[in-house]
Structure 1
Amino acid sequence: MLNMFFFILMFFVGLITFSLKRKHLLLMLLSMEYLIISLYILLFMYLSIYDYEFYFSMMFLVFCVCESVLGLSILVSLIRTHGNDFFYSLNMLC
């Protein structure tokens, strides 16, 4: 039970980091991956406690990888067009 509390605390630390680092896209993507890892560990522990199948955890990982690839492609296109990942330097009119 202490392990669950540790990973829930890990999730909330990731949420705080995500909300504080909202200016840079790369730091937001890293904190989102941290959140995904903590959620995956919580899901895996929950499924192992109640002896459920782990098929859902595989589906969760597939969707998380797709989300990560989409975020990295947005980051690459942002850096190619504007030169950095700082949100406040973007001009939304062009």
Structure 2
Amino acid sequence: METMIGIFVAMFLMGLLSFCLNRKHMLLMLLSLEFVVVSLFLGLYIYLCVYGLEFYFLMIYLTISVCEGALGLSVLVLLMRTYGNDYMESFNLLW
């Protein structure tokens, strides 16, 4: 069980590190956020298995994370059509 928790912590920290390092491209930022979401799913699964609880919350979590991913991709497509690239430095979101 300790190895699973170690894998979860390593995945979560690597996802956060890649999010911080890949802040120039929006697509890479979205992929890093999805990796963090998957690692949190693993952490919730481990937690629920250890305490013998039901897995209904995981289904709600997966539903919300799919909605978050679809929203992120739609924002990416909108920004690509508006600006022509996915560089975060070229976006002027404050107008």
TM-score by length of 1: 0.93
| 1-structure distance, mates of 2:47, 2:90 | 43
Residue 85 and residue 8 in structure 1: after superposition, are their counterparts in 2 closer, same or farther (change >3 A)? same
Please identify runs of 4+ aligned residues in structure 1 that moved more than 3 A: 91-94
Residue 62 and residue 92 in structure 1: after superposition, are their counterparts in 2 closer, same or farther (change >3 A)? closer
Aligned positions, number: 94
What stretches of structure 1 of length at least 5 have no aligned partner?
Answer: none
| 1:86 aligned onto 2:90 | no
Task: Output the aligned Cα RMSD.
Answer: 1.3
Q: 2:57 is matched with which residue? A: 56
Give the CA deviation at 1:49.
Answer: 1.2
Q: What whole-Å deviation, never above 9, does each CA across 1:32-88 have from its counterpart, x for those lacking one?
A: 010011110110111011110000111111110111011000000000111110011
Aligned identity (percent) is 50
TM-score by length of 2: 0.92
What stretches of structure 2 of length at least 5 have no aligned partner?
Answer: none
Q: 2:8 is matched with which residue? A: 7
